[in-house]
Structure 1
């Protein structure tokens, strides 16, 4: 009896967008240790995900959170070593690589949120959840299912807005049968794929980008135990990220040069992008609930 082959289930743009937003949410929360929630929908102001990211804090600096709390012991010491950063995310599940227009759109969203926050700070009404408190540093992420064009990378490099660009394949709606989903073993590995910023070769275009990149294509320099533990975690990673990149406004401005992006090659041969600080892999930095 011949095997019946059913056509792929048609999915709406809403289904596709929602699935990718949830995929990005899981990656950012589980792998980059952010604390985000999904807010996409009517009246979202162009924002799909938003929340916080706890990162190391340079000595001599203060954050609104740590300065407003006085705790003793180890907990208080930890508060003095970290800060929280406001995160705004746009997710794009498009077939073509994103261009400069998409980056400018995200810059516009950030400018609008900051303007609304400034206006509300001069009023007696409480700030809206859609605005950015003035005392908090904020960064913006653009997560693309299909990568970024050369023009997008160059524009983001020159931007004064703290930007992180994430090329995150996958996240198709359940039941969408693509060649990769039908034959996962035959899909190209993250290292084998090519994009505007691949794990195999960091993105470089011209002298305009010289010294601007924070993507480090070198083996981790942490201890052997750190690398072994990193490999163990990597063996069970089921989310493949093609690349992560950020500009100087984020790496040197908001992060103060304390966090690095590194290409990690696991014992399985797979590659991934990891966050490192002071020679160690950065873990979850948020305070205990």
Structure 2
């Protein structure tokens, strides 16, 4: 008989945070550290870009079994306002299941620098979306976005 033990949400969440951190560090060259925990105030990963000037980064990782809703964008915006200087800080939201169309629309319409990241639980980056304020921050740091279709 094979026993299957259900992993608790903390274990699953921590594993996803580490997968996201590895993905962003290796694929997007971000310097990040894990700060998640019971009192993380909405920030799972924090760090900056490797550019001059540096862009501060706040990352929320949501390892849910469904696409994330607009509620998560409102949460992300609140976290950014609470933690960062919105002129030099970008907030990123990672999900293994992606985002509803309304969630994407809300993120794109936001006046705060936001990015949506579809990253699988094993760390594969499937898609990333940066809204206009986030793109402007990246451009000021000398980074330019290139649209590229990934074969996954």
Question: What TM-score, normalized to structure 1?
Answer: 0.49
Q: For 1:1-289, list aligned pairs within 5 A.
A: 6-55=2-51, 82-113=52-83, 132=84, 134=85, 137-171=88-122, 239-251=123-135, 253-256=136-139, 258-263=143-148, 270-271=151-152
Question: What TM-score, normalized to structure 2?
Answer: 0.90
Task: Give SS of 2:57's match.
Answer: strand
* Most deviating of 134-143 and 8-17: 134-143
Task: Measure the CA separation in 2 of the matches of 1:141 and 1:7.
Answer: 37
After TM superposition, what 4+ stretches of structure 1 lie above 4 angstroms from structure 2?
none
Task: Measure the CA separation in 2 of the matches of 1:87 and 1:163.
Answer: 10
Aligned-residue RMSD, C-alpha: 1.9
- Name structure 2 gaps, 5 residues minimum: none
Contact map agreement 2:92 2:116 (CA 8 A) in 1: yes
Task: Measure the CA separation in 2 of the matches of 1:90 and 1:97.
Answer: 15
Contact map agreement 1:167 1:243 (CA 8 A) in 2: yes
Q: 1:42 to 1:98 in 2, by over 3 A?
A: same
Q: 1:51 to 1:136 in 2, by over 3 A?
A: farther
Contact map agreement 1:86 1:136 (CA 8 A) in 2: no
- Name structure 1 gaps, 5 residues minimum: 56-81, 114-131, 172-238, 272-289
Contact map agreement 1:85 1:136 (CA 8 A) in 2: no
Task: Give SS of 1:155's match.
Answer: helix
